[in-house]
Structure 1
């Protein structure tokens, strides 16, 4: 029994990207999983502090501790693009990395001594997985994509091998990541493929009463290179040639925003491209329900970074919104054997314009295809199924080391 009579097994979650406050537009999948696990586990999340966030709070039944790693005005390593993107675009931020890692290690060690968790769940191989490997507590590490595909320097690869060797179990969010995980030394007996989830039962649902636009192309995501927004804006003139009333709505924020605004202006598209800025999760379903098509033109970057899975596609399809994306392995995993027009060549402006154009030209067929895909995705990606799978893995780890 845990001290104080709490019979729930204790889980310490280590994360970098985490909501700074309620309805934060930053990705919230770690919190969504943690709050669902809190029904069965006593969950404490340790994540980095950011300006405006509480140092500690309880959010939806999850105890959240935020550690300091720099003066308040410099705690900018994580948000507005993610760690990998921020380091690429602002090399001076490498100066923040030692404090970020040492702060995490020190606070994780203190929290582990105080809480005595039965298992640690580290999100991302580096640095959270490395810290978990040094704590000595049995741990599950989950890779989300950038930590596995990018960070290819030899010393970082060596650290990844250390993490997967010491991990009790390793999960990746798509089958396409399994081969890359093998390259850093993970064995099949440790690997589990388990995505994060999407609320397909209550939030991301169709609304038959909502009229769907015939002209609105929607982009949702961080404004970073691997999301491929540059290619979508380049494709817009060709789309407009066939569909003169079309326009693009961009829901998201990130380090590329200024460049993408300049690109739209250079192409004379100021009146056809709308930058909506950061959109909180509760407001996204309304965008998906009204758009003619969601365009998710994912690409692989020069350093190997690419989308781990692309749950934005699942969110859109959950709302019955047709989607067009690129034929990267992770996107094909969602589509399965869906018709070819929905997956186009990555980085090809012409192919992207043609794919979007086909959906705009045949909206009813695209809508029916989206609804059929929704039915197939429900048992795989709804949070009820994904949280239950993670709970089984964590129970197995705590049971084996009880």
Structure 2
């Protein structure tokens, strides 16, 4: 069937679909929404509901339609059920959103790679163009979470990825490694792939007055923020803390481990088994104010992501957030982590937990090195990584597809998100 020509619109309408996190909780998607609104687009998001959000709301000019999340978790079959439910719920809300008028552009964010049929249907009906916002590598994500999982599942994920790339008019990838996969595995033309990093907003993410009480009377504080799944390496933080406290006998370092995920309860149990209750705080997800207080007090940021097919080529948002707060980073030596952090991180051979623990100690014991690494990280965020720089290329993709004449030269003033939008927890 012949593709329809998109209908002209005084205010182009954009539908953004995201399943992995609610909006505005998903920091990357929220920054994208705000940049499009600033550029003169009418933006609707379909996503799962989050804490403090309802089924329908308008926040900072963005219309959000949300469905109750369903995540049975566990084995691979749980993800199949979750994604089937999410697809049907998203399709229902997309039809509802379409009643207000056709969408000139549909953007789907992954994981998962399942929404291309909706984009295809809207293309046939209205001539909508499709942008694939490439957050994760779903086949590698499955392989990293379930290394012994059925090979048929990975083949199926590759087919879904291929269909998504084939349907997409344009791809926005979070880093050059992902862009290379879009070009090679997805067979996209180089001019149809744009790297748009999930850059932090340095005006919002910056050090404030420290909160010494977070150290619980100890001299130093180190921090982690992020998802707590099997592939995220939070267990490595606990092993490093165990080595520092129970092997090296250091009682001067407090750990703050913020975030939630499939493994949170098991990790808390492991912390308690190791006798680290007094040294490791694990409050779960916390509000922005707490994150800012922690990052303004902590001296080192932890990026313990282990080497696996996904992590090696993924950009970790927490790493750049640490850098925005002028914190040096301790990380395993992964390809894209080096691209992001450069000399703002202390790199350790992947898998060497004792070396990881000793690197933490070296940094807390060397304030001059900490300060210099933190300064370099903050400078890199301001000069290159900040959303101020990334949003220009992102909006240009939509302008090209719609013919809309917008000009985005400055970071969105609304990037300081509404109160219902905590700092990012997504990892790529």
1:205 aligns with 2:206: yes
Task: Give the match for residue 83 of structure 1.
Answer: none
Task: Give the match for residue 138 of structure 2.
Answer: 147
Deviation at 1:130, TM superposition (A): 4.6
The CA deviation string for residues 1-47 of structure 1, in whole angstroms up to 9 with x for no partner, is x99x9833221111114446x7xxx5433123212321221111112
1:390 aligns with 2:376: no
Matches within 5 A, 1:8-27: 8-19=11-22, 26-27=25-26
1:224 aligns with 2:229: yes
Deviation at 1:268, TM superposition (A): 2.1
CA distance, structure 2, for counterparts of residue 18 and residue 289 of structure 1: 26
Checking the alignment, whether the CA contact within 8 Å between 2:116 and 2:163 is kept in structure 1 is no
* Change beyond 3 A, Cα 1:324–1:305: closer
Structure 1 unmatched runs, 5+: 78-85
* Change beyond 3 A, Cα 1:143–1:268: same
1:269 aligns with 2:272: no
* Change beyond 3 A, Cα 1:251–1:357: same
CA distance, structure 1, for counterparts of residue 189 and residue 366 of structure 2: 46
Deviation at 1:247, TM superposition (A): 2.1
* Change beyond 3 A, Cα 1:30–1:7: same
Checking the alignment, whether the CA contact within 8 Å between 2:65 and 2:93 is kept in structure 1 is no
Deviation at 1:54, TM superposition (A): 1.7
CA distance, structure 2, for counterparts of residue 55 and residue 221 of structure 1: 25
* Change beyond 3 A, Cα 1:305–1:383: closer
1:349 aligns with 2:388: no
* Change beyond 3 A, Cα 1:314–1:51: closer
Task: Give the match for residue 370 of structure 1.
Answer: 374
Greater relative contact order (CA < 8 Å, ≥ 6 in sequence): 2
1:318 aligns with 2:324: yes
Task: Give the match for residue 46 of structure 1.
Answer: 46
* Change beyond 3 A, Cα 1:262–1:49: closer
* Change beyond 3 A, Cα 1:49–1:242: closer
Matches within 5 A, 1:2-401: 7-19=10-22, 26-40=25-39, 41-49=41-49, 53-67=53-67, 75-77=69-71, 87-89=73-75, 91-92=77-78, 94-112=80-98, 114-124=100-110, 126-136=113-123, 137-147=128-138, 149-151=140-142, 153-181=154-182, 182-201=184-203, 203-207=204-208, 214-240=219-245, 241=248, 243-300=250-307, 304=310, 308-336=314-342, 338=343, 342-399=346-403
- Using structure 1 for the length normalisation, give the TM-score: 0.84
CA distance, structure 1, for counterparts of residue 319 and residue 92 of structure 2: 38
* Change beyond 3 A, Cα 1:290–1:351: same
The CA deviation string for residues 64-95 of structure 1, in whole angstroms up to 9 with x for no partner, is 1124xxxx5xx322xxxxxxxx6445744533
SS at match of 2:305: coil
The CA deviation string for residues 282-310 of structure 1, in whole angstroms up to 9 with x for no partner, is 43222111012111101245x85677311
Checking the alignment, whether the CA contact within 8 Å between 2:178 and 2:313 is kept in structure 1 is no
Structure 2 unmatched runs, 5+: 1-5, 143-152, 405-428
Deviation at 1:59, TM superposition (A): 0.9
